[in-house]
Structure 1
Amino acid sequence: MEDEEAAAVLRTVGRQIKMWREAAGLKQAELGSAIGYGEEMVSSVERARRIPKPDFLDKADEVLGAGGKIAAMKEDVERARYPKKVRDLAKLEDEALELGAYDTHQINGMLQTPEYARALYAMQSPAYTEDEIERHVAARMARKSVFDRVPCPLITFVQEESTLRRPVGGKMVLHHQLEHLLEVAKLRHVSIQVMPTDREDHAGMAGPFRLLKFQDGKTLGHFEAQLHSRVISEPRDAQILDMRYGMIRAQALSPRESLAFIEKVLGDET
């Protein structure tokens, strides 16, 4: 596990399942057979080495007669499934009234399709295991809940043209990703803009970043670079990022022009 908080949750869940299993007089192989999982999976869950899926917890609860006590841990387990930096960022996104993002190398995570995200994680070096890839993809997809919040936050994106053309995962994955951008752009509280490669004036040459604005007037910045993720809370630094983002949006294509641009790229990829 990447952090102690998630590890503690999984240790607690594992101990509870083991206690209920032993109280029911079942061996690990017997419980696994009863709920449709292998003995190794039951053993790994009890030792907090694997993250149980909701189906695992529901079936274990029923077979062991736990009366909902095991199933009730699904929400905590689901949060533990996501990396800590994703959980922390999700908390901020849930509270923000405005979110803005400028991306240079890939489609923003909140805009990615599962296939596109999976392709990105499959490129990581050192390589992720299949379980790790699925865990990261699930975490990234969970962040999309911000689009459905009520009241709706204002969400804006600026994507470098190159991100629309790089065939991450292959041409078909990119094709579906561009179609998804056009669908998300239909939401009235979402704005997607494109920064063309031929722009001479560009305020974003220092790299990608995100902005989050809150009801109390506070603005936070956030950026990721290789192995590091950092939240910018110093007011002066956040103000500079806010100013730069405004300039980037002014220099990029308008939202209407950007949608036409994406449609053209999509046509070129067909």
Structure 2
Amino acid sequence: MTQGKKVASPAGQYFAEVLRLLRGSAGLSQNDLGARMSYTGAAVSAVETGAKPATDEFVEAAEKALDAGGVIRAASKYLRLERYPEHFQGFVQLEQEALSVTSFCTQVIEGLFQTEDYARALLGTGFPPLEEEEVQRLTIARTERAALLERKPVCVIDVVLEEAALRRQLGGREVMKRQYEHLLACVEQPNVNVQVMPTNCGAHAGLFGPLKLIETQDSERIVYFEANGKSTLVSDPNEVGSYARRCAMISRQALRPKESQALIEQLAESDD
């Protein structure tokens, strides 16, 4: 049986159409545009027909070659979203535009702070196992989220990590050591606050599971939950208010920032 022709995603089709229209308006053939971009005409054709997705490098080259005024970059925004699992795409778009992000993590270190090696080790534990190409794609997408840490205007990021998430060894000692060092570098940024919920705390307000609370550009607050590849976004003000109070209590029950930083430093220096 022969395989059917690969059909580009709606975002891929939209990007291809924008590229074709702008190229046509400029009176350029695929070969002409490719030459301006230092690509082959075949590479341009592959993107326009949906045979291959546009890379970030291709997007930037096309933007400059066509003097597109930001149109091509804007169209590529939706291509980037497709690098994430479908259930996460809605949240990541909100996250990248948020005024503030508050997060409580129970099993692993917050994705915004993950190093590439840590993210790859984590994603490689999936079951059923993912293909290496898929692990690489998801790893790149996850680490790209870190751009939020240095975005202008500034996003305020408050994270509480369960101590168990910090102590869970993913990828081996060297991977974890670099992860601790990266986390310590992140907390030096004035817009980032990280606290640790110590294991000896016993009962606390976060025992019902992880959650994320974001404040949008419109000052609306939204709560996000994720478990086993399923996700939920909550926008009802009454429900969000309840979760916001829970987040505040979790923060009060966790170690203070300086105490948390000292614990992370201790883990980074440990030989265990």
State TM-score, norm by structure 2. 0.78
CA–CA distance in structure 1, aligned partners of residues 59 and 145 of structure 2: 23
1:67–1:266 CA distance, 2 compared to 1 (3 A): closer
CA–CA distance in structure 1, aligned partners of residues 227 and 139 of structure 2: 19
Superposed displacement of residue 49, structure 1:
4.2
Of the structure 1 ranges 42-51 and 145-154, higher mean CA displacement relative to structure 2 is found in 42-51
Superposed displacement of residue 247, structure 1:
1.0
Amino acid at match of 2:125: M
Deviations 1:53-106 (A, max 9, x none): 2444667899xxx7556x963553354033355553343234433210000111
How many residues in Structure 1 have an aligned counterpart in Structure 2? 262
CA–CA distance in structure 1, aligned partners of residues 98 and 57 of structure 2: 32
3-state DSSP class of the match of 2:171?
A: coil
3-state DSSP class of the match of 2:101?
A: strand
Q: Contact between 2:87 and 2:230, CA under 8 Å: does it hold in 1?
A: no
1:122–1:42 CA distance, 2 compared to 1 (3 A): farther
1:72–1:95 CA distance, 2 compared to 1 (3 A): closer
3-state DSSP class of the match of 2:128?
A: coil
CA–CA distance in structure 2, aligned partners of residues 142 and 58 of structure 1: 16
Query: Of 201, 209, 213, which residue of structure 1 is paired with 2:211?
Result: 209
- 2:180 corresponds to: 178
1:105 equivalent in alignment to 2:104: no
CA–CA distance in structure 2, aligned partners of residues 211 and 57 of structure 1: 32
CA–CA distance in structure 2, aligned partners of residues 59 and 95 of structure 1: 25
Q: Contact between 2:19 and 2:72, CA under 8 Å: does it hold in 1?
A: no
- 1:260 corresponds to: 262
Superposed displacement of residue 126, structure 1:
3.3
State TM-score, norm by structure 1. 0.78
Of the structure 1 ranges 107-116 and 206-215, higher mean CA displacement relative to structure 2 is found in 206-215
- 2:245 corresponds to: 243
3-state DSSP class of the match of 1:51?
A: coil
Query: Of 232, 235, 238, which residue of structure 1 is paired with 2:234?
Result: 232
CA–CA distance in structure 2, aligned partners of residues 24 and 222 of structure 1: 46
Deviations 1:201-223 (A, max 9, x none): 21111110001124655321111
CA–CA distance in structure 2, aligned partners of residues 51 and 136 of structure 1: 15
- Runs of 4 or more, structure 1, over 6 Å off, are 13-20, 35-43, 58-62
Amino acid at match of 1:12: E
Structure 2 portions without partners, runs of 5+: 1-5
1:184–1:58 CA distance, 2 compared to 1 (3 A): closer
CA–CA distance in structure 2, aligned partners of residues 44 and 127 of structure 1: 30
CA–CA distance in structure 2, aligned partners of residues 72 and 217 of structure 1: 27
Query: Of 126, 139, 148, which residue of structure 2 is paired with 1:124?
Result: 126
Superposed displacement of residue 168, structure 1:
1.3
Amino acid at match of 1:146: L
Query: Of 8, 12, 16, which residue of structure 1 is paired with 2:13?
Result: 8
Amino acid at match of 1:188: P
- 2:158 corresponds to: 156
1:245–1:163 CA distance, 2 compared to 1 (3 A): same
CA RMSD between the two structures: 3.7
Amino acid at match of 1:185: V
3-state DSSP class of the match of 2:270?
A: helix
Structure 1 portions without partners, runs of 5+: none
- 1:192 corresponds to: 194
CA–CA distance in structure 2, aligned partners of residues 203 and 12 of structure 1: 50
Amino acid at match of 1:207: G
CA–CA distance in structure 2, aligned partners of residues 81 and 153 of structure 1: 20
1:110–1:262 CA distance, 2 compared to 1 (3 A): same
1:207–1:13 CA distance, 2 compared to 1 (3 A): same
3-state DSSP class of the match of 1:198?
A: helix
Amino acid at match of 1:107: I
1:47–1:132 CA distance, 2 compared to 1 (3 A): farther
1:73 equivalent in alignment to 2:75: no
Deviations 1:111-150 (A, max 9, x none): 1112211222222233333443333223222322222233
1:39–1:86 CA distance, 2 compared to 1 (3 A): farther
